[in-house]
Amino acid sequence: KKRPHGKPLVLTARMSSAATPPQAQQAAPDATLAAERRVTYLLDDHIGVHASPEASLRKPHTVRLTDNLVVDCGLDKHMTMVRSGGDGWSPAPAATVRRYHTDAYVAFLEKIELHGKEVANEAANYVLNNSVCFSETAWPYAQIYAGASMHAAELLATGKADIAINWSGGQAHARRDCASGFSYVNDVVLAVLTLLQSVERVLFINVDSVHASGVEEAFYTTDRVMCVSLHRHGDGYFPGSGGAKDAGERAGKGHNINLPVERGFSDADLEALLPPVVEAAAARYQPAAVVLLAGTGLLSGDRLGCMNVTLGGYSKAVECVLALRRPTLLLGGGGYTTSIATRAWAAATSLACGAAPLPLAELRPDHPCPQQLSETVMGNENGAAALAATREAALERIASTPARDPPVVPSPPAAAEASLPADGAAPAGAADKTAAAGGSDPAAAEASNGTPSAAEPQPAAAAQA
């Protein structure tokens, strides 16, 4: 059966619609600046129906619980909640997904739900590893999380939001022509390509137990995206990529920064490694927008990550990215213990709204998530000297890249309207900029047949093809 995709748009109060003045963008964030953030939260009311125990795909259920917890805690009163359907956002059409993925792979995904038996023998052609299992609703599910990420990127690129949140997104392992892990469509790459239609440079930051392999591969040869990834590496851990020496190629040389760590990674390790690298990357690269994959696999108790990071440490990692004060897209990434992922993403949402991290013990008792979280302490295999060497190598690589000028941050629509001539006519070149922004119009995407525009970098995989 076809699943419903959502309800009409529902908007709630937001904290402020005022734009942050340029001089304030350079200042350290404080409570006042946090209150001025325009935060948009994207969700689909029926995301949970796509959970599949057979495919080990628990994330849709986890995202549904997160959405409920965010509302239960009253955070919906401090941001704009945008639901799919109606005048909100729509699941990504096939033509839009083909901006990155190949025609053959997208055609295969489209057939799974209603014609799965006919294409069952083709599945092996579209998987990168044996961790992939296609659920019967893999395609509509992928359309939902990809559509949300791309719409969120459009809101940032057009200055309609300072922070956009899509916890269903962050499926960073899919390649152009196949699935990998639980990732069918790479919404991260699609969102970054959407941003690059309007801005010059994007900083992508992965904080999770798994390496964002598909994102690294897509932008390995371009200098318009700098990738910083903190992840567990070694001992046969999925996906096996993300070595410290992988620095990028051709124009992208020096723009790929991997921070591989071992099991047992702790709060102190995280604080010593991540903030200095993120701050140095932002200062040197001067991105116009930031995409943060805030996975929860590194939290203590996650059934796959085997890390020791607490909610407090995770919150500090999110805060160090928000402190950059650039248009920021927050994506969910991995998280394989529902009670932990749900609370972590709710806490990150509260930080985006300018609130304090949500205390674990004071959430609504009638929420279906357990009130008590089991704590699992793993032996820490990360030595201080090894972490210091990783940090210094990353800082040296960042310093080897060209220093960029501060970017032009997208202005809010109100500011753009105020700059129009008295007769109301659009300034010269405005139509061209609107066309370059691309958006997710299916007709426009069909006309281009998914070909990247001149403003977009050619992904490495596409160049090889």
pLDDT tens for 280-318 read 999 999 999 999 999 998 988 887 877 889 988 999 999
Whether 50 is a known active-site residue: answer no
Task: Compute the C-alpha angle 361/366/370, nearest 5°.
Answer: 50
| Given 173, 231, 233, 255, the catalytic residue | 173
**Mean per-residue pLDDT, 96-110:** 95
Calculate mean pLDDT across residues 30-36: 54
DSSP structure string for 237-281: -TT----TT----GGGTT-EEEEEE-TT--HHHHHHHHHHHHHHH
- What local confidence, expressed as pLDDT, does residue 108 receive? 93
Q: Is 52 helix (H, G, I), strand (E, B) or coil?
A: strand
Q: Which of 69-73, 148-152, 328-332, 408-412 has the lowest mean pLDDT?
A: 408-412
| Per-residue pLDDT at 267 exceeds 70 | yes
Q: Is the pLDDT of residue 221 over 90?
A: yes
Q: How much of the chain, in percent, has pLDDT values that exceed 70?
A: 75
Provide the 8-state DSSP code for 120.
G
Secondary structure of residue 164 in the 3-state scheme: strand
Which residue in this structure is represented by tokens 């702790």? 266
Task: Categorize the per-residue pLDDT at 356 as very low, low, confident or very high, splitting at 50, 70 and 90.
Answer: low
Q: According to the model, what pLDDT value does residue 405 have? A: 93
Model pLDDT, residue 289: 97
pLDDT for residue 119: 81
Distance between CA atoms of residues 63 and 42, nearest Å: 11
So what's the pLDDT on residue 256?
A: 96
* 391-402: average pLDDT: 96
Does the pLDDT of residue 326 top 90, yes or no? Answer: yes
Per-residue confidence (pLDDT) for residue 124, from 0 to 100: 84
Rounded CA-CA distance 4/45 in Å is 9
Q: What is the pLDDT of residue 410?
A: 74
* pLDDT attached to residue 55: 65
Going from the C-alpha of 447 to that of each of 89, 90, 192, 232, the distances in angstroms are 21, 19, 21, 41
Residue 57 clears pLDDT 90, i.e. is over it: no
Give backbone dihedrals phi and psi of 222, rounded to 5 degrees, phi first: -120, 150
Contacts within 8 Å (CB) and 24+ apart, 413-419: 413/158, 413/159, 413/160, 414/17, 414/19, 415/19, 415/159, 416/159
